[in-house]
Amino acid sequence: MSARDLHGPGAPWGPAEPGSKSNVDFQVIGRAHSKVDGLAKATGAAVYADDIVLSGMLHAKTLRSPHAHAKIRRIDVSKARALKGVHAVLTGESMPIKYGVIPWTPDENALAVDKVRFIGDPVAAVAAIDEDTANAALKLIEVEYEPLHAFFDPRESLVRAEPAIHEGRKEGNVSKSVQLEFGAVDAALSSADVVVEDDYFFHGSTHAPIEPHCAVATYSPEGVLTLWSATQITHYVHRALAQVLELPAHKIRVIQPCLGGAFGGKSDPFSLEFCVAKLALLTGRAVKMLWTREEVFYAHRGRHPMHLHYRSGATKDGKLTGVDAKILIDGGSYSSFGLVTTYYSGQLLTGPYHFPTYRFDSTRVFTNKPPCGPKRGHGSVQPRFAFEVQLDQLAEKLALDPIEIRRRNFQGDFTRTVNGQRVTSNGFLQCLDEVERASRWKERRGKLGPGRGLGVAGSMYISGTNYPVYPNDMPQSGVQLKVDRSGLVTVFTGGNDIGQGSNSMCAYIVAEELGIGIERIRVVAADTDLCPVDLGAYSSRVTFMVGNATIDACRKLREKLVAAVAEKWQCAPARVRLIEGLVVDLDDTSRSLTSVEAFHLAETKFDTLGATGSYNTPKLGGDYRGGTIGASPAYSFTAHVVDASVDTETGRISVHDVWIAHDCGRALNPMIVAGQMEGSAYMGIAEALYEEHDINRFGLHRGPSLLDYRLPTSLDTPEFRALIVESIDPEGPYGAKEAGEGPLHPSLPALSNAIYDAVGIRLKHLPFTPAKVLAALREKRESAALATQGGTR
Amino acid sequence: MRAVGEYQLEVNGDAQRVSAPDHWTLLEVLRYRLGLTGSKQGCDKGDCGACTVLMDGRPVLACLTLARASEGRAITTIEGLMPAHLRAGGTGADPLQQAFDRCGALQCGFCQSGMILSARALLERCPQPSREDMRDALSGNLCRCTGYTQIFEAIESAVAEKLALQPRLRSWEAQRAAQEPSR
């Protein structure tokens, strides 16, 4: 069922009447509640993958490539196999079938076959009685490599096809290339009153969830393989395991235990999942593999480095006429989600501003570095950084206030973007108003004293996409409800709670719809044996899609409850209201039943009580190849103002405050929404100032530890002010849209723009290290001096 | 073969006989011998703080502490807080754990056992900490989800509850309060 069918024009949560209080009709939605798993996490009771201990469990370790690019001439595992305590050793030939999260680009093996493509590429795996023995066995594996020329600069991969990182591709070392043009861009730019053309660079960054990847597998005597994995997409792991292990999918059960952070970094199927599964099959023992922190850095799948060139034109009054982008994307060694990344780098820029014309030319190439993939704000944080800085450059040329130029180009709501994407609700103007008001932009800008400034930026992001990775017309999300005679309602959802609170979101919706307390609801999630399929926690799809599926299931169940009670009371169903653990007659409030009594009545009248619900997107997207990639049933919008200062002696940047205004449609739980906004902005500021996933000229990571890869501590993190804007989307669950990724985007350009406001330097190359700040300040002084000399001559 | 020793640790008020290789850290013994998996391994080299436990009331990194070196010290893990609170006549989880739950501080939760224990130690020595005190005290505990704001708010909420103070409005609450009259 699509959301439009579900909610209809008379959705009960339409915009609040003027003068009425918001949320007046809601009992649960719109208020702060604890999470369903909050206390389990607070008390240490929550079970994460590495907390799972099974009897007789073996421990597995991975041997990794020391070469960035090499042929494997020979592998000899006989000595490792002979070591006492070793139960099995795997190499590439144990699992030769290639896989990839995008079905069109399967180019990965669980363990390298014939060649390795980055330092850290998995080559062999050992299962032994303990980690020490497994590590000792790895040292006994002999691998003979023939090193090949390694690519570390994407500009080289673009022009040099040999040696091919992936053989047999007609595109050489190009992973994906997309050129799309909407309208006559060159004409629009040549007729513009002002044009800004510039280069920007986005470095790589990685997710660094505090929980390292971990997987545990066991194989039952009946031939069922069970895998617990720290994954954010159970369903795709399930499919990939069936494919690679050549097992029927019904013989595989994948369970996501409590997950210690993901941010996109646990979206791909990973080597360790296949290895523990295969090792369990071979040994008949449970097998666990926990990656070290260093391995997590090499597994990566983080933000793609991008070389971005933008040319934008505007009229005298600041209206954009056209935007032209050329982007080179460093994909690292495998495809991962790269096909989507390449499209997203262009497709997701076309809001919240109206682009009369637009062109992008994006090319992703392979290099011999850890593979890149989706990190929070997949494919769209990098172009957003470049464009929002360029928009400030345009504003400066036109002597316009940076907030004003953004207002003037607002695309409006219920419209279509230049690339054919449907936009529904759009609260971007309110977002600008909120950050302008809260930061006291008008009073404070330009009056903060030397070295301190304010910067603004905006963005938009998807609430899921209608591109389901593998083509099918089945629902993207399914939910099942089961009612117990005790009054407990169990929700079964394939959705992955990765800390964002999706299980809690399901519970809030069931509580709202059935008028029962949250404590009467249990959520069983992300277990392929028990739960209907959901496509997982990525592209900010969960609240929108799982939320709508949950509402759908609840409405069907509620209909039965209401019918049973109406029959007993001999009244019209419209008079029956489920609220606060009771069922009441709206016309005679002295008449009521408990929810439990109503459940019993309905079970008596109908059958064992339960319901299913589902969600699928409506048909969306532009009518061209790739037009559905980036098409979302609803877009979120964000604006940030950053208050920052620069120490011109040391080049050190201090961020004081970040005001984050985010249009999430409706905040189902404003506290959780605020937490997503703050966490997003933290991650954006972190990659602007501190973090760099940098690979040196030998292919080695410059700092694969949580000390050297500098995650901000509580001392480094600025104050965040979360400001929630609710545009009430007609198709979202109660009007909700996403909140987990959009609010990251503006952090980086708003900071760059604040630094310009503070000290007059445009930082266009991330990250903004003290060395870059000092170099830019020196350059500014020198060009000022030259200008002065020129003036006196 | 590496040497295996037998020794006694005091964990959450219980005297525990432990038999483990001498090179094992306190974190390994807690997780793999005593089944106390609430203490997490995020980096195994003292960078992230997810393994933080209290030793004689002070936060230490269990992944950098040899288990044998913990003999004779009182160790508190995250699992110890709720039973201690119940023994002292309280109900439910420790008030600080409840505050973390109530305030949204628990996203993925992986860093939070260490975070809560560091915060517990802070409150023992400083019952009404400022934000700066909190930033100092928690700087050894990395959180990747929250941006720390809701962690600070949780500690403030626990303090406000204990001292019967009015907690300050969160940014979105202040925003709502400002908007309400105009609606």
For residues A451-458, average pLDDT: 98
B54 touches chain A (CB under 8 A): no
* The predicted structure's pLDDT at residue A404: 98
Cβ pair A387, A349 in contact under 8 A? yes
Cis ω before A352 (30° cut-off from 0) = yes
Length of chain B: 183
Contact B113 A44 (CB under 8 A): yes
* The predicted structure's pLDDT at residue A345: 98
pLDDT for residue A22 is more than 50: no
Indicate the residue of A208, A292, A667 with minimum beta-carbon distance to B144.
A208
Q: Is B13 left (phi over 0), alpha (psi -120 to 50) or beta?
A: left
Chain B residue with minimal CA distance to A672? B104
For residues A533-537, average pLDDT: 97
Q: At A465, list the tokens.
A: 């996409």
Q: Kindly provide the ipTM of the predicted complex, given to two decimals.
A: 0.97
What is the C-alpha separation between A229 and A232, in angstroms, rounded? 9
Indicate the residue of B44, B50, B78 with minimum beta-carbon distance to A292.
B44
* The predicted structure's pLDDT at residue A788: 84
The residues pairing with A178 across neighbouring beta strands, listed in sequence order, are: A362
pLDDT of B138-163, one tens digit each? 999 999 999 999 999 999 999 999 99
For residues A283-312, average pLDDT: 98
Cβ pair A342, A335 in contact under 8 A? no
B132 touches chain A (CB under 8 A): no
- Percent of chain A whose pLDDT exceeds 70: 96
Q: At A755, list the tokens.
A: 């630094």
Cα pseudo-dihedral B123, B128, B133, B134, rounded to 10: 60
Contact B101 A261 (CB under 8 A): no
Contacts of A709 (CB under 8 A, 6+ apart): A206, A208, A297, A691, A692, A693, A703
* The predicted structure's pLDDT at residue A789: 81
Q: At B109, list the tokens.
A: 């939760």
Domains present along chain A, CATH in parentheses: 3-12+22-46+474-615 (3.30.365.10), 49-148+233-249+266-284 (3.90.1170.50), 379-459+626-782 (3.30.365.10)
Which residue bears the tokens 């800085």?
A389
What is the residue-wise DSSP string for A187-235?
Answer: HHHHT-SEEEEEEEEE--B----SSPPEEEEEE-TTS-EEEEE--S-HH
Length of chain A: 793
What is the C-alpha separation between A210 and A385, in angstroms, rounded? 26
Cβ pair A112, A67 in contact under 8 A? no
What is the C-alpha separation between A714 and A710, in angstroms, rounded? 12
pLDDT for residue B1 is more than 70: no
What is the C-alpha separation between A533 and A493, in angstroms, rounded? 7
B33 touches chain A (CB under 8 A): no
Positive/negative CA dihedral, A411, A678, A41, A216: positive
Cβ pair A516, A597 in contact under 8 A? no
B3 touches chain A (CB under 8 A): no
H or E segment to which residue A127 belongs? strand A122-128
Indicate the residue of A259, A713, A719 with minimum beta-carbon distance to B108.
A259
Contact B104 A32 (CB under 8 A): yes
Confidence of residue A18 (pLDDT cuts 50, 70, 90): very low
Contact B150 A678 (CB under 8 A): yes
For residues A364-375, average pLDDT: 98
Contact A210 B108 (CB under 8 A): yes
* The predicted structure's pLDDT at residue A638: 98
Describe chain A by its helix, strand, coil percentages, rounded to 5: 30, 25, 45
pLDDT of A311-322, one tens digit each? 999 999 999 999
pLDDT of A582-598, one tens digit each? 999 999 989 999 999 99
Q: At A733, list the tokens.
A: 């669950």
Confidence of residue A465 (pLDDT cuts 50, 70, 90): very high
Three-state DSSP class for residue B95: helix
Quick one: which of A199, A647, A190 has its CA closest to A393?
A: A199
Three-state DSSP class for residue A274: helix
Same fold, B4-79 and B81-169: no
Contact A682 B107 (CB under 8 A): no
* The predicted structure's pLDDT at residue B181: 61
Average pLDDT taken over every residue of chain A: 95
Domain ranges of chain B: 4-79, 81-169
* The predicted structure's pLDDT at residue A15: 44
H or E segment to which residue A67 belongs? none
What is the C-alpha separation between B119 and B115, in angstroms, rounded? 6
Query: Between A and B, how many CB-CB pairs are < 8 A?
Result: 204
| Interface test mutation site (partner B, options A21, A35, A36, A43, max chain B beta carbons within 10 A) | A43
Chain B residue with minimal CA distance to A667? B172
Amino acid at residue number A630: G
Cβ pair A148, A70 in contact under 8 A? yes
B95 touches chain A (CB under 8 A): no
Which residue bears the tokens 């690519």?
A151
Report CA-CA distances (Å) from A559 to A486, A508, A564, A577: 20, 19, 9, 11
Q: At A347, list the tokens.
A: 């497709």
Report CA-CA distances (Å) from A113 to A93, A470, B97: 6, 25, 49
Helical pair B112-125 and B95-102, crossing angle rounded to 10 deg: 120
* The predicted structure's pLDDT at residue B178: 86
In chain A, what residues touch B136 (CB-CB under 8 Å)? 715
pLDDT of A103-124, one tens digit each? 999 999 999 999 999 999 999 9
Indicate the residue of B82, B110, B147 with minimum beta-carbon distance to A260.
B110
Three-state DSSP class for residue B4: strand
Amino acid at residue number A15: P
* The predicted structure's pLDDT at residue A3: 60
B64 touches chain A (CB under 8 A): no
Q: How far is A504 from chain B (nearest CA, A)?
A: 11
Q: At A311, list the tokens.
A: 């040319």
- Cα Dmax for chain A: 98
**Which range, of A426-440, A634-648, B110-124, B164-178, averages the lowest pLDDT?**
B164-178
B136 touches chain A (CB under 8 A): yes
* The predicted structure's pLDDT at residue B3: 86
The CATH number of the structural domain formed by B81-169 is 1.10.150.120
pLDDT for residue A671 is more than 90: yes
DSSP A62: E
pLDDT of A176-232, one tens digit each? 999 999 999 999 999 999 999 999 999 999 999 999 999 999 999 999 999 999 999
- Percent of chain A whose pLDDT exceeds 90: 95
pLDDT of A233-276, one tens digit each? 999 999 999 999 999 999 999 999 999 999 999 999 999 999 99
Contacts of B70 (CB under 8 A, 6+ apart): B9, B26, B55
Indicate the residue of A18, A39, A679 with minimum beta-carbon distance to B101.
A39
Residue A530: count of CB within 10 angstroms of its CB: 15
CATH class, domain B4-79, is alpha beta
Distance, CA of A730 to chain centre: 23
Amino acid at residue number A211: E
DSSP B33: I
HSE of B164, CA atoms in CB hemisphere, 13 A: 0
Cβ pair A497, A526 in contact under 8 A? yes
B17 touches chain A (CB under 8 A): no
Report CA-CA distances (Å) from A545 to A272, A506, A648, B162: 29, 11, 48, 41
A675 touches chain B (CB under 8 A): yes
pLDDT for residue A4 is more than 60: no
Residue B179: count of CB within 10 angstroms of its CB: 12
| Interface test mutation site (partner B, options A48, A210, A717, max chain B beta carbons within 10 A) | A210
Q: How far is A621 from chain B (nearest CA, A)?
A: 32
Q: How far is A681 from chain B (nearest CA, A)?
A: 8
- Cα Dmax for chain B: 75
A790 touches chain B (CB under 8 A): no
**Which range, of A400-404, A463-467, B15-19, averages the lowest pLDDT?**
A463-467
Contact B42 A211 (CB under 8 A): yes
* The predicted structure's pLDDT at residue A787: 87
Question: Helices (H) and strands (E) in chain B — how many of each?
Answer: 7, 5
Q: How far is A6 from chain B (nearest CA, A)?
A: 28
